[in-house]
């Protein structure tokens, strides 16, 4: 698909992942339009431009997307907050992104999250890994907004043919900080390589990819990475001696894939059944 004469819109450019991706994609020759509600804290890469904007402003989002071949959507609330805080940028804002993509016939990379499926239990020992077609089991209002975002992508694919890849990011940081991240960590370098493969892929449709590096302790199995020809190169095992013993000590946090998000405001007396529709 790649046409480097057409720009790529990167929302959430001032966040940690946006700041890592902007210079990497600019170096790869992409013409970037960067946007965020917060100022861009770094030097804007050569060949890129930055516009401060609110995802709730649909008119501005349409204008920013004019002529774009793709939208890399990393914008919005990126951690757990009350529902009313999440509502605007993560639900209404995403609608504006997809409307812009529909108008411009652009594909969308949606930065989804493991928190859309966070109440699935962690595999024990050689337990069964979770495939990309698993049921949503969000662990927070933030995770719920990510499940909504993936379903928005399905709607716009089915109804309008808007291609989209939903990247269920595990834990994308410079390095893992605890034992859970030995399963969920995604290096910045693997993330940048994935973005390039997404932009270059001839055909995507509606797809889900687990956003994790090549971690032997992974929780996750099959996905649609073959559609973009991406395979991670880094591994969290490099840090196993450093963080392998670091656990929370909280039984809820340690039981579920979403980690600490599952324990926030948790009030059950006992775990919910593995079958989401079963009685206790």
List C-alpha distances in Å: 73 to 225, 233, 255, 261, 262: 18, 23, 30, 22, 25
Please state whether beta strands 164-169 and 32-36 pair in parallel, antiparallel, or not at all (unpaired): unpaired
Residues with catalytic annotation? 142
Please state whether beta strands 48-52 and 32-36 pair in parallel, antiparallel, or not at all (unpaired): parallel
Backbone φ, ψ for residue 21 (5° rounding): -80, -35
Closest to 261 (Cα-Cα) out of 87, 119, 120: 119
Rounded to whole angstroms, how far apart are CA atoms 141 and 264?
11
Rounded to whole angstroms, how far apart are CA atoms 136 and 151?
10
């Amino acid at each position: 698909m790649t046409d480097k004469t057409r720009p790529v819109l990167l929302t959430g450019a001032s966040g940690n992942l946006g700041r890592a991706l902007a210079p990497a994609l600019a170096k790869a020759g992409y013409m970037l339009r960067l946007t965020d509600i917060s100022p861009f804290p770094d030097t804007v890469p050569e060949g890129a431009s930055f516009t401060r904007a609110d995802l709730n402003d649909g008119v501005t989002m349409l204008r920013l997307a004019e002529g774009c071949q793709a939208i890399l959507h990393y914008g919005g609330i990126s951690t757990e907050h009350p529902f009313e805080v999440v509502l605007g940028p993560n639900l209404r804002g995403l609608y504006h992104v997809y409307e812009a993509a529909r108008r411009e016939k652009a594909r969308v990379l949606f930065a989804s999250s493991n928190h859309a499926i966070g109440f699935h239990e962690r595999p024990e020992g050689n337990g069964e890994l979770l495939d990309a077609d698993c049921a949503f089991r969000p662990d927070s209002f933030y995770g719920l907004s990510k499940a909504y975002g993936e379903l928005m992508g399905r709607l716009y694919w089915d109804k309008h043919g808007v291609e989209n890849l939903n990247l269920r990011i595990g834990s994308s940081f410079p390095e893992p900080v605890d034992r859970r991240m030995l399963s969920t960590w995604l290096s910045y370098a693997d993330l940048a390589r994935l973005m390039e493969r997404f932009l270059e892929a001839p055909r995507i449709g509606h797809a889900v990819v687990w956003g994790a590096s090549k971690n032997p302790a992974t929780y996750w199995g099959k996905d649609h990475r073959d559609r973009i020809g991406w395979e991670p190169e880094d591994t969290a095992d490099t840090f196993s001696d450093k963080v392998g013993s670091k656990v929370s000590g909280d039984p809820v946090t340690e039981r579920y894939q979403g980690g600490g998000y599952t324990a926030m405001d948790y009030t059950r007396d006992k775990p919910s059944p593995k079958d989401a529709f079963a009685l206790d």
